[in-house]
Amino acid sequence: MRKKFIISIFVLLGLIFVGKLVYEVANPKTYYYGIIPNDAAPLEYGRVEYTVPTVDEHGNMRTETFSAIKKLKEGAIFKLTIRNNIVKSYDIIDEEQLSSSIKKHLKK
């Protein structure tokens, strides 16, 4: 009885691992970069929303909308993590972390 329980736990953990792996492969993350503008739309509870032009590593431009818990520093460079066309997170980064092709597109 105990042996069957332990085996079923390992099978369940294996299925969870395989499921996560399939999800990661089928829905890869993409990263877009942009510069925080001076205008932000206020939301409830002090949150703010930004709609900004962004660029990916290949130079593809698109507009993204994301929210933050507070107003971010104008002119700061950010990196958006996107999966399934949904912004999952943002990070404020230094200009040194950008590749030259992204820097070129952000300066335009």
Note the pLDDT of residue 108.
Answer: 52
Kindly tell me if the per-residue pLDDT of 46 is higher than 90. no
- List Cα–Cα distances, 75 to 11, 12, 21, 30, 39, in angstroms: 50, 47, 37, 22, 11
Kindly tell me if the per-residue pLDDT of 95 is higher than 70. yes
Note the pLDDT of residue 65.
Answer: 92
The mean per-residue pLDDT over the stretch 19-38 comes to: 82
Beta bridge partners of 105: none
Identify the CA nearest to 29 among candidates 69, 82, 100. Answer: 82
Which range among 18-27, 28-37, 94-103 shows the weakest confidence by mean pLDDT? Answer: 18-27
Tens digit of each residue's pLDDT (9 = 90 or more) over 48-86: 999 999 998 888 899 999 999 988 899 999 999 998 888
Say which residue the tokens 């949904």 belong to: 86
Of the candidate CATH numbers 3.90.76.10, 3.20.20.70, 2.40.50.480, 3.40.640.10, the domain formed by 29-107 belongs to 2.40.50.480
Q: What is the domain partition of the chain in residue ranges? A: 29-107
Other Cβ atoms closer than 10 A to 16: 10
The mean pLDDT of the chain is: 87
